[in-house]
Amino acid sequence: MISLDIPDRGAASLAGAFAAIERLSETAVDDLRSMVAVDTSFPPGAGYEAFADLMEQLAVPLALDCERVIVPEELWRAPGARGQRTNLIARRRSGRPVLGLYFHVDTVPAAHGWAGDPLQLAREGDRLFGLGAADMKGSIAAALLALRAAQQTGLVLAYDPMLLLCTDEEAGLYPGVRYLAEQGRLEGHILNFNGSAMPRIWAGCFGLFTLTVRVRGKAAHAGEQRSAGANAIEAALPILTALAGLKPVIAQRTSALPPPPQATGPLTASLDISAVHGGQCGGQIPSQFEILLCRRYAPEEQFAAARSEIETVIRQAASGLDLDIILTGHLAPTADPGGPHWPRWQRALSAGFGYAAEDFARWGASGCSDFGWVQQATGMQEVLLTGLGKPDSRIHAPGESTTLTDIVALAKSVLAYLSVEFCPELSPETMTP
């Protein structure tokens, strides 16, 4: 049994709020169902305005004031991206210290292989299936559940919650939280839900950038006057071959970041050919071919050098082809995000999920976050990490899921951390110098 370490006078109120979370848990399922039904896949990112509409409907009854912040199009415009970049800040102001609760609202596009409609939440017992269920709309549902329980029970909070519902984390060119950071809109310290439900101490993560290579040929009738055409797909084959040769070279580069406990070796850099598009029909010589590349780079690497290496290989293989190489997405590496609030958050995770202190391990990830930009823009080093990811969540894959049990546990962790009565001796805001 995990001790909440709160005074006797407060135990009943926090225990009552935990009971309210259990009692209200089906509201989280309803919220998640509504969120999954709004297509916020990026690319293209066309559903952000509709999602902000929904979130305002859910936030206002919780006494949260809502404000929309729109990223200017000239910052995020890239091939494949469309729709307004609407970020929503939903916050409460009472004069207490601010706790930012960060969520990215975009998902990856649904991959082939879903058994049902990925935008319709499906339920099998405790498990909830849907696009973004684990990454990370289920986390939004958990936070709303925590605030709903606090409101119903009158639980006194140590922090004023500020929900940051942000765009374009899934490898966008200009993520919404980067814009908020550069505009000075972030306050207090931040709990980032772009992680796992595991007992993990975050050590930082890789950066990522995507490049679109656009090779141009000349369309012509495929059966007549073939010399008048130029097949863009066939012309690009040497580029694909050169990139395939570069891939194992990049994969040899390792990072000093501690790998996850289940890893069989160090974290490594990577290059992937993520998508190709070209041609329209068999009767026409294709006039354009696009290659989408994804490069994950370790904190020890430099973005400019990593990008230049790829572009040099492409141009050497292109043999005078008419082509463009366009940066279409970039997430900077996140440096070690440790800080003074972590011990209390670790205790809150234990209160929600039942973890023991010895369960926690420190590791980084070759997965990426948009908080490298936050660190660069604000000087804010500390970022607390949580979320709903688990090895069986199938994040970014058909059948993505979470469980109601984990949503409830995460809601309890968030509520414990927000509560004024929970481990006050571990709160930097109340510690005596």
pLDDT tens for 80-128 read 999 999 999 999 999 999 999 999 999 999 999 999 999 999 999 999 9
Whether CATH 3.30.70.360 fits 207-331: yes
> Which class for 255: exposed (0-12), middle (13-18), buried (19 or more C-beta within 10 A)?
buried
On the question of a cis peptide bond just before residue 43, with omega within 30 degrees of 0, the verdict is yes
Average pLDDT along the chain? 94
Residue 125: what are its φ and ψ, rounded to 5°?
A: 65, -120
On whether the CB atoms of residues 120 and 132 are closer than 8 A, the answer is no
pLDDT band for 433, please (50, 70, 90 cuts). very low
Is the confidence at residue 307, as pLDDT, over 50? yes
On whether the CB atoms of residues 349 and 412 are closer than 8 A, the answer is no
Mean pLDDT of 3-32: 79
Note the pTM of the prediction, 2 decimals. Answer: 0.93
Is the confidence at residue 229, as pLDDT, over 90? no
Q: Which helix (H) or strand (E) holds 364?
A: strand 361-368
Domain boundaries, the chain: 8-204+333-426, 207-331
Is the confidence at residue 351, as pLDDT, over 50? yes
pLDDT tens for 402-428 read 999 999 999 999 999 999 999 999 999
Q: Which helix (H) or strand (E) holds 342?
A: helix 342-353
State the Cα–Cα distance between residues 48 and 314, nearest whole angstrom.
34
> Is the CA virtual torsion 170, 88, 121, 143 positive or negative?
positive
pLDDT tens for 32-45 read 999 999 999 999 99
pLDDT band for 171, please (50, 70, 90 cuts). confident
Domain 8-204+333-426 fold is Aminopeptidase (3.40.630)
- CA distances, 280 to each of 220, 284, 286 (Å): 12, 7, 7
Mean pLDDT of 230-247: 95
Q: Which of 288, 292, 350 is nearest to 321 (CA)?
A: 288
Beta strands 127-129 and 122-124 are antiparallel
Is the confidence at residue 216, as pLDDT, over 70? yes
Task: State both tokens at 64.
Answer: 């949260």
Residue 8: predicted pLDDT: 40
pLDDT tens for 62-85 read 999 999 999 999 999 999 999 999
Looking at the DSSP bridge assignments, the partners of residue 327 are 211
State the Cα–Cα distance between residues 36 and 47, nearest whole angstrom.
11
Task: State both tokens at 282.
Answer: 């068999």
pLDDT band for 302, please (50, 70, 90 cuts). very high
Is the confidence at residue 2, as pLDDT, over 50? no
Residue 9: predicted pLDDT: 42
CA dihedral defined by 287, 288, 289, 295, rounded to 10 degrees?
160
Domains 8-204+333-426 and 207-331 share a fold: no
Contacts 24+ apart (CB under 8 A), 390-395: 390/134, 390/196, 390/197, 390/198, 391/262, 393/133, 393/134, 393/135, 394/134, 395/134, 395/135
On whether the CB atoms of residues 130 and 395 are closer than 8 A, the answer is no
pLDDT band for 352, please (50, 70, 90 cuts). very high
pLDDT band for 283, please (50, 70, 90 cuts). confident
